[in-house]
Amino acid sequence: MVFITPGVGFLGQHLVLPAFIHYAGLSLTLFVIRPTIKLPEWAIVTASILLIPVRGFGGIAYRHWKNKREAEKRGARLPPAIQTGTFGNSALLDRMGKAWKEGYPGDEVWDFTREYGRVFNFGIMFADTVFTLEPDNVKRLLATDFDNFVKGERFQYALSAVLGSGVFNSDGEMWKFHRTMARPFFSRDRVSDLERFDKHIQKAISLFQQRMKTGYAIDFQDLAQRITMDTASEFLLGASVDSLNILADDMPQPYNHPHHHSSAEAFKKYPANVFCDAFLEAQLVAAQRDRHEWIWPLWEIFEDKAKPYMKVVDAFMLPIVEEAVAKNSEKLRLNGGDAKNEIGDDETLLDHLSSQTSDRKILKDQALNILIAGRDTVSATVTFLFYLLSKHPNVQQRLRDEVLDTIGPSKRPTFEDVKGMKYLRAVINETLRILPPVPWDVRECVKGTVWPSPDPNEKPIYIPPGTTCVYGLLMMGTDEELWGPDAAEFDPDRFLDDRKKHILANPFIFLPFNAGPRICLGQQLAYNQLSLIIIRILQAFSSFTVDGEAVPPNARVPENWANGPGRKAMEGFRPKVVLTMSCEGGMWLKADPVEREETI
């Protein structure tokens, strides 16, 4: 079987095929109109090639003229476009790429916002990519104009290698299918059963305690990812990855440990580690593709960068999918071919999906989509939360007091216990506001529409069809125009005192779980899982500190960040954005274990 890389396929589609069509068209035209004229072959070939940029730039110019005319017809204007004076704003692509690697997320975008306003067009490589910080526009994207804003082909193409046609990368009937199938598995009865998660958390706490006895920090981000991977895989697939079945000494070692280099080899001997690493690397490739806009295949001329990682992921996932399909076939055989619509107590999401389709790709895609949501977002939130607690001892102590007063030093909380812990919920929400695990999201405009102008003295803004619309949850969460002068401060009380009225009156300034028809089905599951992890860890440890010496030097916060604006000046770690946000180099924490007498 011949394998074509994304880059070769892209060149074939945009260069070779058009050139061939032009050549055939020119040859036929000359033969019909002037059969006596014999042009040299090289002239026809050259003309065929030159027609490619002529048609391309002609199409771009026509599209801009058409959009501008439509905007004027509607009494509107096009979004202000960033101007760099380079071909296709290519300098902007380089500038943004450097910012992604070295800067604080949103740095460059804040600069553009100050220059161009709160709605503007990146215009990279002649594609319309509009960014907005306006809650009213986000409301249109997610709710009031939902049908007009889809994930879109550009986004789906970039992320298809990882997300496939799963719920987070599909539109229309396929999205409705995934959504309908998943909904029953996030009912209150299922998401409030905390016992099923507790065994994994207890394993993690044991590993945490063992590391603390050595005097070295633990990569809390790695620990949190193990918890959420094991809980999500068991809850959704019926088979835990068992990433917590690891010796404490084989977990990642801090930079200041004498054997931190050799720990990488020990790390690879666990199949769960290999799977999780491949899973993360595949997401990194997908994120890089998305950032390179529609021309991303040009970075993959000689190889499909996602392929080796997805091969590892598929080797883990496909046997689980096959088992679910076989299980459903046996179930049908025993029932005489009659499918039962009832969902059993021990049935997983994958079990239920396999009763609706036997398409292995659809099943695998949906499973991976839910795994990403179940693992990455929850692990990122709990990691950021304990980081923030380490920086705010007063909040840390107040939250621990609530845990001990409500639950006690060792009891497993119930759903009703968690429901009554107001400060815990406020701390979680404040973490999600300042450091949302999904910092950006996108939609694509189907039909041209008009948005109100952020500046009342300006005309409204026309959004042409095919425009990619990006909204920044990370930036909105610390935007002083939306949250006031203390927007960058970590203050959970804003979700409890009179400031809460402002949030309730403006729901689209705080969207950690999306909104509208695509609102996260697992919202309550995430809150419950987060609450249980936080409670159990606070029962086992009394205080937390970040160990800066444990962080690899290339992942440490640059000194010049101290002079930056907002959160940048405060941050004690380097946020890294893939599909979700995480900590570059890990989050290395030390903690004080609770004495045995306190837990009795």
pLDDT band at 14 (very low <50, low <70, confident <90, very high): confident
Residue in this structure with the two tokens 């101007």, named with its chain if needed: 83
56 with 195, same domain?
Answer: no
Q: Give the strand pairing for 461-463 and 129-132.
A: unpaired
Dihedral angle of Cα 70, 71, 74, 79, to the nearest 10 degrees: 150
pLDDT score of 55: 87
Handedness of CA 52, 53, 54, 57 (dihedral sign): positive
DSSP annotation string for 497-510: STTHHHHHH-GGG-
State whether 228 and 370 are in the same domain. yes
| Per-residue pLDDT at 22 exceeds 50 | yes
pLDDT at position 149 over 80: yes
CA 440/CA 475 separation, integer angstroms:
9
The residue among 52, 73, 94 that closes a domain is 73
Whether 116 maps to a domain, the answer reads no
Q: Average pLDDT over the chain, rounded to whole?
A: 90
C-alpha 29 chain-centroid distance: 51
* Residues 37 and 173 grouped into a single domain: no
Binding residues: 520
Number of domains in the chain: 2
Report yes or no on 292 lying in a domain.
yes
Based on its alpha-carbon atoms, the radius of gyration of the chain, rounded to whole angstroms, reads 26
What's the pLDDT at 599?
Answer: 42
Q: Which of 194, 185, 183, 190 is nearest to 416 (CA)?
A: 194
Q: Do both 66 and 185 map to the same domain?
A: no
CA distance 321 to 238: 11
278-310 burial code (b ≥16 CB/10 A, e <16): bbbbbbbbbbbbbebbbbbbeebeeebbbeebb
For tokens 């000359």, the residue is 30
Average pLDDT rounded to a whole number, residues 402-423: 94
Same domain, 203 and 68: no
- The last residue of a domain, from among 73, 96, 112: 73
Residue 41: domain span: 1-73
| Residue 311 within a domain | yes
Contacts for 511-519: CB closer than 8 Å, 24+ residues apart: 511/138, 511/142, 511/473, 511/476, 512/429, 512/432, 512/433, 512/436, 512/437, 512/438, 512/473, 514/142, 514/441, 515/138, 515/139, 515/142, 515/143, 516/142, 516/143, 516/146, 517/143, 517/146, 518/142, 518/146
> Are 177 and 59 in a shared domain?
no
Domain end, chosen from 54, 73, 92, is at 73
Asked if the structure places residue 9 within a domain, the reply is yes
Q: Are residues 211 and 69 in the same domain?
A: no
Residue corresponding to tokens 């959504």:
179
Could you count the other beta carbons within 10 Å of the beta carbon of residue 560? Answer: 8
What are the residues whose beta carbons fall under 8 Å from the beta carbon of 183, sequence distance 6 or more?
521
The candidate with the shortest Cα–Cα distance to 149, out of 162, 166, 132, is 132
Residue 129 falls inside a structural domain? no
Q: Residue 292: which CATH number?
A: 1.10.630.10
Q: Quick: pLDDT tens for 533-583.
A: 999 999 999 999 999 999 999 999 999 999 989 999 999 999 999 889 999
pLDDT value of position 597:
47
Residue 598 has pLDDT above 50, yes or no: no
Quote the distance between the C-alpha of residue 598 and its chain's center. 40
Per-residue confidence at 24, pLDDT binned at 50, 70, 90? Answer: confident
In a domain, 109, yes or no: no
**Does residue 194 sit in the same domain as residue 64?**
no
The tens digit of pLDDT for each residue in 269-301 reads 788 888 889 988 999 999 889 888 889 999 999
Question: What is the distance between the alpha carbons of residues 570 and 387, in angstroms, rounded to a whole number?
Answer: 12
Over residues 38-42, mean pLDDT? 79
List beta partners, residue 119.
132
Query: How far, in Å, CA of 166 to CA of 374, rounded?
Result: 14
Answer whether residue 568 is part of any domain. Answer: yes
Determine, yes or no, domain membership for 154: no
d(CA 594, CA 411): 14
The distance of Cα 360 from the centroid of its chain, to the nearest Å, equals: 24
User: Which amino acids are annotated as binding site for heme, given as ranges?
Assistant: 520
Same domain, 175 and 60: no
Residues in the chain, total: 600
- Quick check: 102 pLDDT over 90? no
| Residue 178 and residue 66 share a domain | no
Number of neighbouring beta carbons within 10 Å of residue 457 = 5
**Shared domain check, 41 and 178:** no
**Angle between helices 271-291 and 152-163 in degrees, nearest 10:** 160
